[in-house]
Amino acid sequence: MEKIVDIVAPRNSIDLFLKVLALISSFTAFDYFIGEAMRNLTSTSIMIELVTTLFIAAPFGIFVMSIMGIQRRLKEKLRYLAETDQLTGLANRQAFMARAGAALSEQPNSTILMIDVDHFKRVNDTHGHFVGDISLRLVARHLVENVRAGDVVGRLGGEEFAVMLTNADKITAEYVSARICKPMEVDAAADLDKSAPSFVLTMSVGGIMALPGQNLTELIRHADAALYTAKSTGRARAVFYECDGGSKRVAC
């Protein structure tokens, strides 16, 4: 305890002088420079500049970041509107073609399905366009629920839809097509009053399995030909367009 008192509060002036002299002699060049740097950093002028910069730059930085965030969200919203069918939430024609084309380049072993709702004009004529819109939304949900994660689904227009089954063999393509063709019940009462109609919809499917070198436009044209055969031979079925030794045939 006495030693601590001697250090902090020397007993006489001679002791004080000797301790100050020892303290001064213990300074090194490093201590000196560190002390100078701290004194400069904490000087009044430096502090004023630092505070001024923070008060001016911080709000401006926050403002710029907010504007950038708004622009990013606006860009994402515009892209969503440009690529999405507003009735069904699926990719629209342009977006489907872009996504399916990209998928085909990465997964050549893919299948294109062209899908058409059977007798859809009758739905609009009998129940009205509002019920027709409900039906199309339910068809879109039916398609999404019956394909695999990673497949591309789009509405090309009207009652016409398309699906690209990426990396799908024949068994997978036929299985998915059969699920899509399965009759689907439309119960409009969930969106309208209790007197709304309930009826069954079916779909026809035309498909083609891609061969090396075929482009998306060619595949869609052949799938359309298969779809025409499916509709002209009874509907509610899937028909696949096949190439056999250079000759083209449509096989159920």
Active site residues: 159
Task: Record the tokens describing residue 98, joined without a space.
Answer: 């872009």
Sheet holding 247-251, edge to edge: 152-157, 160-165, 111-117, 203-209, 238-244, 247-251
State how beta strands 203-209 and 238-244 pair: parallel
Residues with Cβ within 8 Å of residue 211, at least 6 apart in sequence: 243
Q: What is the C-alpha to C-alpha distance for residues 199 and 239, in angstroms, rounded to an integer?
A: 25
State how beta strands 152-157 and 160-165 pair: antiparallel
> Is residue 1 classed exposed, middle or buried when 0-12, 13-18 and 19+ CB atoms within 10 A define those classes?
exposed
> Rounded to 10 degrees, what is the CA torsion of 166, 170, 174, 180?
10
Q: What is the C-alpha to C-alpha distance for residues 105 and 195, in angstroms, rounded to an integer?
A: 49
Task: Record the tokens describing residue 62, joined without a space.
Answer: 């926050």
